[in-house]
Amino acid sequence: MVAIKHFLQFNDLSTDELNHIFARATWIKGQFKAYKQYWPLQDRTLVMIFEKASTRTRLSFEAGVQQLGGSAIYLNTRDSQLGRGEPVEDAAQVISRMSDIVMIRTFEQEIIERFAANSRVPVINGLTNEYHPCQILADIFTFIEHRGPIKGKTVAWIGDSNNVCNTWLQAAEMLDFNVHVSTPPGYEVEPERANLYGNDHFETFADPMNAAQGADLVTTDVWTSMGFEAENEERKRDFADWQVDAEMMRAANKDALFMHCLPAHRGEEVAADVIDGTQSVVWDEAENRLHVQKALMEYLLLG
Ligand code: CP
Ligand code: NVA
């Protein structure tokens, strides 16, 4: 039996596989834009399990699988047995007997690992506390569309060393680019949590302005991720100097792009004139979730 391929962390796919997905995403996006039908996943069912809120992830997976000829089923913790303590291993056994592919958004990475270990079908990480690999697929695809290959480029990550940041760091190792990270004291990257091979591909900076210098892409995320709401007020104080504003964008390379996975808080992690400004590609970035995830599902199911 061929081993099932999951996408639980960015480095679950090899560099060649990642590049294949970017190339397929370009083709699939072209078909979609030309209103051409492409139904390789006819009769396939995607189950989407959400233990946290979502707009983009749900929409892009549900629309994406339908556009490939398949169908999607949405489950959440509130109105399924998942919220009533059914073991994740049992849920995985049952759900994977009735579907062809599963996407999960949950809390600890360990939960999705346990699900995948008991699943008969591919499992995709739609965000955990530790990682958000589909987001970074879309972000890098967006970078490539605007600026060409990301190899050798520099990404500045300003703010929290969260799931999105960890995934950027993994991606830097896989695709050979650099990340400048600036976090407030006490919120530093934990290389072990980010599951990195080494520290060749990232550099940390105390001052976010220094991290922005030389960057081809400046990116950030909310100061308080889902699941950490109790820390919100403290974080607002701690992160006050880690806002991406026009001055910070000027410190980056002239043609630097700005990205944000969204949802954004204007006036907190990003100034309105940056996210709504000419260097921002956040709407392309959001749309590209659809195209890269279609390529990802196609790859995991059809090779
Ligand atoms: N960026 C992202 O994953 O958005 P949602 O939380 O809306 O899915
Ligand atoms: N870091 C954010 C990303 C949301 C898409 C969170 O986990 O809430």
Residue 229 is part of a domain; what is its CATH number? 3.40.50.1370
**Sign of the CA dihedral with 190 first, then 186, 104, and 72 last:** negative
Inside any domain, residue 260: yes
Inside any domain, residue 142: yes
Residues 230-258: what's their mean pLDDT? 98
Task: Please tell me the distance between residue 2's alpha carbon and the centre of ligand 1 in angstroms.
Answer: 32
Inside any domain, residue 247: yes
Residue 261 Cα: closest atom of ligand 1: 1
Q: Which of 52, 55, 107 to mutate to test the pocket of ligand 1 (most atoms within 8 A of CB)?
A: 55
pTM of model > 0.85: yes
Confidence of residue 269 (pLDDT cuts 50, 70, 90): very high
Give the pLDDT of residue 199.
86
Task: Please tell me the distance between residue 102's alpha carbon and the centre of ligand 1 in angstroms.
Answer: 17
| 222 vs 134: CA distance, rounded Å | 17
Inside any domain, residue 1: no
Instruction: Report the chain's C-alpha Rg in angstroms.
Output: 19
Inside any domain, residue 3: no
pLDDT at 2 over 80: no
Q: Are residues 160 and 28 in the same domain?
A: no
Task: Please tell me the distance between residue 253's alpha carbon and the centre of ligand 2 in angstroms.
Answer: 27
pLDDT at 20 over 80: yes
Q: Which of 61, 222, 229, 262 to mutate to test the pocket of ligand 2 (most atoms within 8 A of CB)?
A: 222
Domain enclosing residue 166, as ranges: 134-282
Tens of pLDDT along 251-266? 999 999 999 999 999 9
Residues 57-84: what's their mean pLDDT? 95
Is the CB of 135 within 6 Å of ligand 1? Answer: yes
Q: Are residues 23 and 41 in the same domain?
A: yes
Q: Are residues 145 and 265 in the same domain?
A: yes
| 246 vs 181: CA distance, rounded Å | 18
Q: Are residues 125 and 238 in the same domain?
A: no
Task: Please tell me the distance between residue 224's alpha carbon and the centre of ligand 2 in angstroms.
Answer: 8
Residues acting as catalytic residues: 105, 132, 135, 221, 261, 289
| 99 vs 296: CA distance, rounded Å | 17
Q: Which residues contact 44 (CB under 8 A, 6 or more apart)?
A: 65, 68, 69, 70, 71, 100, 101, 301
Confidence of residue 75 (pLDDT cuts 50, 70, 90): very high
Q: Which residues contact 159 (CB under 8 A, 6 or more apart)?
A: 165, 182, 183, 220, 221, 223, 239, 242, 269
Tens of pLDDT along 93-140? 999 999 999 999 999 999 999 999 999 999 999 999 999 999 999 999
**CB-facing half-sphere around the CA of 19: CA atoms within 13 A:** 10
Ligand minimally distant from the alpha carbon of residue 135: 1
| CA 118 to mean position of chain CA atoms | 24
Chain mean pLDDT for the chain? 97
Inside any domain, residue 85: yes
Q: Are residues 191 and 237 in the same domain?
A: yes
Q: Are residues 126 and 170 in the same domain?
A: no
Q: Are residues 271 and 157 in the same domain?
A: yes
Inside any domain, residue 98: yes
Residue from 6, 269, 236 nearest 115 by CA: 6
Which residue's entry shows tokens 């189950």?
47
CA-nearest residue, atom 3 of ligand 2: 225
Is the CB of 199 within 6 Å of ligand 1? Answer: no
CA-nearest residue, atom 6 of ligand 2: 225
Q: Are residues 250 and 230 in the same domain?
A: yes
| 74 vs 218: CA distance, rounded Å | 34
Is the CB of 59 within 6 Å of ligand 1? Answer: no
Find the residues whose C-beta lies inside 6 A of ligand 2: 127, 162-164, 221-222, 225-226, 261
Ligand minimally distant from the alpha carbon of residue 221: 2
Q: Are residues 85 and 143 in the same domain?
A: no
CB atoms closer than 10 angstroms to residue 285: 25
Inside any domain, residue 242: yes
| 256 vs 281: CA distance, rounded Å | 10
Give the pLDDT of residue 1.
58
Number of separate domains in the chain: 2
